[in-house]
A and B are shown apart, each in its own frame.
Chain A
């Protein structure tokens, strides 16, 4: 796969170096805390941006430009905010077609050992959600033409 996943590769590398489970956990929390500094407007926290099936609320917004998707995400739980940030940063800048090529492998390579199965499932759901948003925006563009 020749996708440009620079940011994603950074995450994979960072998480590979951390060999302590608790430290990996703190890494995610810190990421959530850092993401707090970037504003996610209240007007985006609406039902249409809500991702269903999570224990805490997760909003994901797609801002496509030049045929590529740029995602922003937020959650009221800091750990989930860290995870959603990792996902949106990893997979922004891809085309809908490139997004559709992403697989479960990308998630497992993140080596999120510190996270329980439940949250790994949450990550997969997020990935599927990004892919869906990618398809929807493309459909919407096609419809507008």
Chain B
């Protein structure tokens, strides 16, 4: 598929996929909370109905990786059972069908993030690969010694290390926006770091530890006023609030499938086409070339220039199904539901003696990091696990943030669209139990 196609609203149920949930699901963009029935949504996720150690599973680790609705699982199974073949080598029927489904997923995703064209959507394996791709191609080509890249104190390692590698290789300089004690990103702390040496702003849209939402729209405006492009790490942001890349006017946006209720092994890099087209290839191989000869090789246009080798075919198709599912529920409905759960959980958790919450920014996604006085996060998480409550524990791939907070780690409960108040109650009860046992 090439050229700019007319983008249409994603339609649940295309590609012979059943509609997400059932037919009475609200259309995307429907804001009425009544339309979002979390108990019905939970039935879409087969894994949630099981028991762990004889207790109902309470899954609060979606920030690490979310569970998958049946429509996603079915789409992958259908691909492998009925039409799987390698893509872009269309000499036979199955290959053509696979290619169609694969490219259709790209269009679905382009619609979901409101890209101008699906050619701005590059399939990668993960956010990590997406950011490394930008660093290795755009970064190597356009960044030189002394050039500055601005990140924040609350980046995931995936948005620190690729730039540090360029620091070592080319002598670029990393500038770090400090956060406040409550985990907030203040524009006034960002602005002084912008200078004529700034060549890129590469920041998280939403902290994976604190849930802090960064005012990215404002950041992008300010960066663009200085002629500086902006890359957003949307790994967490897109899950809780969706994204409109044209409205934000970001230059790059990286996200991953497995946190967005899709399969693992598939990520996305959105880039403005004009920028992508200036970038050299990432990896060399098949599928990214126009013509190969020993006299010289010419490369395809984006996005294929950046997709060397056989891509994650079923995973991309599965991500398309996940995006249709999320769209069918409505990202605004999901967001409102999660905000309700977050407010309830915050209120309940604050009643627990000795519990410290990290990250109390006013704009915050449903991610809660905490410690309990006199206990080690590992012990709390181990007892939570015994109670059937799945959380993450440790540094969450954000060591510099842990240093900033002066702690070694936290327990993190991260909520997804399928979590309900009963999950919060089970969490609170399990924390109380842990407090008792560890006293």
Which residues from chain A sit less than 8 Å from chain B, CB to CB?
21-22, 25-26, 29, 55-56, 76-80, 114, 116, 119
Contact = CB atoms under 8 A, between A and B. Distances in A.
Contacts of B294: none
Contacts of B87: none
Nearest to A54: B378
Interface of B: 53, 375-376, 378-379, 382-383, 385-386, 393-394, 408, 437-438
A126 to B, nearest CB: 15
A55 B385 CA distance: 15
B376 to A, nearest CB: 4
30 contacts: A21-B53, A22-B386, A25-B383, A25-B386, A26-B437, A29-B379, A29-B437, A29-B438, A55-B378, A55-B393, A55-B394, A56-B376, A56-B378, A76-B376, A76-B408, A77-B378, A77-B379, A77-B382, A78-B375, A78-B376, A78-B379, A78-B438, A79-B378, A79-B379, A79-B382, A80-B378, A114-B386, A116-B382, A116-B385, A119-B382
- Residue of A78, A114, A116 ringed by the most chain B CB atoms within 10 A: A78
A79 B378 CA distance: 8
Contacts of B437: 26, 29
A39 to B, nearest CB: 19
Contacts of A77: 376, 378-379, 382
Nearest to A21: B53
B400 to A, nearest CB: 19
Grouping DSSP codes into helix (H, G, I), strand (E, B) and loop, the B interface class, with mixed when no group exceeds half, is: helix
A22 to B, nearest CB: 7
A79 B408 CA distance: 17
A144 to B, nearest CB: 37
Nearest to B433: A22
A45 B137 CA distance: 44
A97 B53 CA distance: 40
A119 B378 CA distance: 11
Given A56-B376, A78-B438, A119-B382, 12 more contacts: A21-B386, A22-B386, A25-B383, A25-B386, A26-B437, A55-B394, A77-B376, A77-B379, A79-B379, A80-B378, A114-B386, A116-B385
A6 to B, nearest CB: 29
Nearest to B408: A76
A20 B383 CA distance: 15
A15 to B, nearest CB: 16
- Residue of B53, B378, B382, B438 ringed by the most chain A CB atoms within 10 A: B382
Contacts of A78: 375-376, 379, 438
Contacts of A56: 376, 378
B399 to A, nearest CB: 14
A114 B437 CA distance: 15
Contacts of B386: 21-22, 25, 114
Nearest to A25: B386
Contacts of B375: 78
A130 B250 CA distance: 53
Nearest to A22: B386
Nearest to B380: A77
A131 B385 CA distance: 31
Nearest to A28: B382
A77 B434 CA distance: 13
A114 B54 CA distance: 13
Contacts of B393: 55
B438 to A, nearest CB: 6
- Residue of A76, A77, A116 ringed by the most chain B CB atoms within 10 A: A77
A61 B128 CA distance: 38
A119 B381 CA distance: 13
A44 B173 CA distance: 38
Contacts of A22: 386
A98 to B, nearest CB: 31
A33 B438 CA distance: 9
Task: Across the A-B interface, give the 5 residue pairs with the lowest CB-CB distance, nearest first.
Answer: A77-B376, A77-B378, A56-B378, A77-B379, A78-B379
Contacts of A55: 378, 393-394
Nearest to B381: A55
